[in-house]
A and B are shown apart, each in its own frame.
Chain A
Amino acid sequence: MHSVLRIVLALLLLAATLPALAGLHIDHWTTRSGARAYFVETHSLPIVDVSVEFAAGSAYDPRERAGLGQLTLTLLKGGSARFSEAELDRRLADAGAQLGDNFDLDRAGFALRTLSSESERKSALETLADMLQAPRFASDIFEREKARAVANAAEGETQPDHIADKRLYALMYPSHPYGATATPATLGAITRDDVERHYRARYGAAGAAVTIVGDLSADAARALAEQLTSRLAPGGEVALPPVPPPAPGETVRVAHPSTQSHVLLGMAVLSRDDPDYFPLLTGNYILGGGGFASRLMTEVRSKHGLAYSVYSYFYPYAERGPFQVGLQTRRDQANEALKRVQGVILEFVARGPSEAELRAAKKSLVGGFPLRIDTNRKLLEQVAVVAFYRLPLDWLDTYPARVEAVTLDQIRTAFTRRIDPKKLDVVVVGAPN
């Protein structure tokens, strides 16, 4: 068999025929109340996907009431002016709709998927519109949901992955709101008035982004965006404080009876509008983002069998989001695995990737781009990011070309400048030493 040869030939052919991306048409306008609206029309399936997001993520929680944002979002499902909680549940279920929460450091909102047939669509979206714009925040439901949130936070405090995450964020963001996480105590301090105030302050039209993808006419999409936002308060923008430059890294070890130690490293690095965005993301594919093609996976898993999962990623937020590296390994191997990971990072930051690695990374990121938008659901998620962060409308169209343009030198420079291995915080949960 000459399969290697044939594979190489096939690869050469591939490199010569990178897919031409059809320009994605995103319709964009501002609703009468001042919310941003984005629409991608596609009639190939009888489905409409809608996302409505507000600048109301956990970064907007007061530190001593961490968890307020998530609780407020949950309580929007607890009954509205027109519909009781049980009616909201039934109306969505009867229409075959699916409602999901989106909540992170910056964003809070819902994604609703519904059939596009008129009566189901109208019923589901009328329900969503009332939930978003006229919540009841009934006190008995508030008490119930608060107790649930406290219970879930207490459960999280017994699980090693949650503990590790929480400790790492506290180290990466000692004074910034990105570092605060909900505990039973901070949740316990929240009152119904806090929720009401938070809703009034954060769920205004000025900070809202509506994204619609699917089987809808342009006129119907415009009407829908109005329906979802016309009753919102105007709202105002509150800029998050900048994240201070990272300090020298600290190491925290937490004893836990788990069979594995959970090892995390991290520092605050990447914002959405960062000039190093593409060099860092492309470089990270090679370091630890590219699965089996990555250096971390090769060293820790393939060569030494130390972990099932090992990764690095940049998560871009409005302000500097985390660069995070993680793995889990049998508790007596944690120090060995940590050393190997640190070795790989040091080497990568010092020397950068090879020419061949960069070529492979671009083939994967550029050639694989169509897979990131090949379903309505994926398209909704991608366009919702464009919408929330006010990215240029051609952001997705130009993405492959911008990866293609990254040079070895840019990656090396960006990593040396931005990732000082001495500033990485380290958390090990499991073996105490």
Chain B
Amino acid sequence: MVSRQAFLVLVVAFASQAAAEPREFTLANGLRVIVKEDHRAPTAVQQVWYRAGSMDESPGTTGLAHVLEHMMFKGTRSVAPDRFSRLVAEAGGRDNAFTSTDFTVYHEQVHRDRLPFVMRLEADRMANLAIRPKEFAREIKVVMEERRLSTEDQPRALLDENLMATAFSAHPYKWPTIGWMQDLQNMTWRDAQAWYRSWYAPNNATVVVVGDVDPEQVVAWAKRYYGPVPRKAVPERKPQSEPEQRGIKRVVVKAPAELAFVRFGYKAPVLRDAQKDWEPFAVAVLVKVLGGNDAARLNQILVRERRIATSAGADYELISRGPGMVFLNAAAAQGHAGSELEAAVREIVAQVASKGASPEEVQRAKVQLLAQLVYRRDSFFAQAMELGELVSTDLSFRDADRIPERIKEVTAEQVRTVAAKYLVDDSMTVGILEPQPLERSAPAHAAPAAAR
């Protein structure tokens, strides 16, 4: 045990050993800039984080944050539609973007010499996006195709969407980031423009750069390119806490599939203060005891021993703007119903909630979490993600070094405590996918219901 503890200390040192301490700088217009030097390869990543995700939307226009993300590639006053990605490609770079419940993030990976070029391009579309009605009309069709591809025809994604819609009654996490189809069908270019005008401001954004760069130089470029973008007032954000859940919730989804699938969601805490909070770290360890590697309980019991599942896992995001959730899931083996799987998962949960986890399991879970933090150092992109997420969630980039320390401190007793406190029926939502034979499944939305 002594050598195992010594090993954890070593891993913590690796996990937090930054090539150089990141630098943080705030421009006069409120834009935050985080730069981290890493000279392992002659490349650099830029990520622009806007603190505007689907949780900032309203019913009727769900999916708007993501639609705007698409429109950000459709031209500015001086760059033609679809030209942005071509310019990045011709600079030997890769670009893309993603929208989550919490943020919209744009990113480029380039040779270090091209960094100022892509900073220029991002600064341009931060200020000068031109939303053209004709482009919007085409792009909204693309987004509807994306929704069909990623959700409507994916039984397990559909289950997840239904699970969130059931678990939350007030918080905007209840609607999907891709948006409800009806909202997409009725969205207009003016909605997109209003969103852009509301949220795309330097004072609502963070630029993160990681790579083979000189931080002084990056700050100078940031001043030159982003500096002239005017600050503007962003809409007031009302508190949106979810009322306490007072009893189990259930949802069933029927879709063409062979195997039943269950997904559980439990309300759980997330990190708000990396020095004071301990529960979120204990939850992270608990979730690793349950899933995420072959030695974890869900796999060992459901797949290996009882053989009623073909796969099983657990996930939890330590960091998010809104309320947290622990998810457990399992895909049934043939001939086993969702209800049987549900009972088996609940048995495993009851066990860990009453007895906790063994010291060996806790140690293993901590090693897994910390090793993942070390492996993250292999990728500039992953490092930028870590910093951007921290800063955009009102945590500090310095927490990247505190987190491994805090994970290391988690005790078996704390794991038992959070298991008993949070993995309880009253804050649980059960989602079950009931597979339907292909022949009996009528084409959903066979008619192009409301294509405009």
**A residues in contact (CB < 8 Å) with B:** 1, 3-4, 6-7, 10-11, 14, 17, 19, 44-47, 77, 85-86, 89-90, 92-98, 113, 115, 117, 119-120, 144, 147-148, 150-152, 154-155, 157-160, 256-260, 290-293, 298, 301-309, 328-332, 360, 363-364, 366-371, 373-377
Contacts and interface: CB of A to CB of B under 8 A. Distances in A.
Contacts of B76: 3
Contact of B444 (A115, A259, A332): A259
B145 A308 contact: yes
Interface in B74-105: 76-79, 81-82, 85-87, 89-94
Most buried by A among B41, B296, B333: B41
A60 to B, nearest CB: 25
Contacts of A95: 367
A297 to B, nearest CB: 9
B173 to A, nearest CB: 24
Given A258-B444, A308-B142, 15 more contacts: A7-B87, A19-B113, A89-B300, A154-B334, A292-B85, A292-B86, A305-B138, A305-B142, A308-B145, A329-B145, A330-B451, A367-B90, A370-B111, A374-B41, A375-B378
Nearest to B447: A332
A147 B336 CA distance: 12
Contact of A363 (B14, B91, B143, B294): B91
Interface of B: 3, 7, 10-11, 14, 40-43, 73, 76-79, 81-82, 85-87, 89-94, 109-111, 113-114, 116-117, 120-121, 124, 128, 137-146, 148-149, 152-153, 256-259, 293-296, 299-300, 303-304, 307, 310, 331, 333-334, 363-364, 367-368, 370-372, 374-375, 377-380, 435, 438, 441-448, 451
Contacts of B372: 96
Contact of A257 (B3, B137, B300, B441): B441
17 contacts: A1-B77, A7-B87, A10-B91, A14-B113, A14-B114, A93-B364, A147-B333, A158-B257, A258-B152, A259-B443, A290-B89, A307-B142, A360-B89, A360-B90, A364-B89, A370-B43, A375-B41
A271 B407 CA distance: 48
A152 B295 contact: no
Contact of B40 (A19, A85, A374): A374
Given A14-B92, A93-B293, A371-B109, A46 B334 contact: no
B364 A46 contact: no
A360 B11 CA distance: 44
A98 B292 CA distance: 11
Contact of A1 (B110, B128, B300): B128
A368 B124 CA distance: 23
Given A96-B368, A120-B7, A260-B145, A148 B333 contact: yes
A190 to B, nearest CB: 16
Contact of B295 (A93, A150, A364): A93
> Which DSSP category, helix, strand, loop or mixed, fits chain A's interface?
helix
Contacts of A377: 378-379
A96 B40 contact: no
Nearest to B19: A44
Contact of B90 (A152, A154, A363): A363
B293 A328 contact: no
B222 to A, nearest CB: 17
Contacts of B114: 14, 367
B266 to A, nearest CB: 23
A180 to B, nearest CB: 21
B375 A331 contact: no
B92 A4 contact: no
Contacts of A77: 294
A93 B79 contact: no
A308 B111 CA distance: 28
Which residue of A86, A257, A291, A363 has the most chain B CB atoms within 10 A of its CB atom?
A257
Nearest to B299: A89
A4 B377 CA distance: 36
A86 B145 contact: no
A147 to B, nearest CB: 6
Contacts of B259: 151, 154-155
Contact of B310 (A120, A152, A328): A152
Contacts of A97: 371
B82 A298 contact: yes
Contacts of A332: 446-448
A370 B375 contact: no
A44 B41 CA distance: 10
Contacts of B368: 93, 96
A134 B91 CA distance: 49
B152 A259 contact: yes
A368 B120 contact: no
B109 A148 contact: no
Contacts of A14: 90-92, 113-114, 117
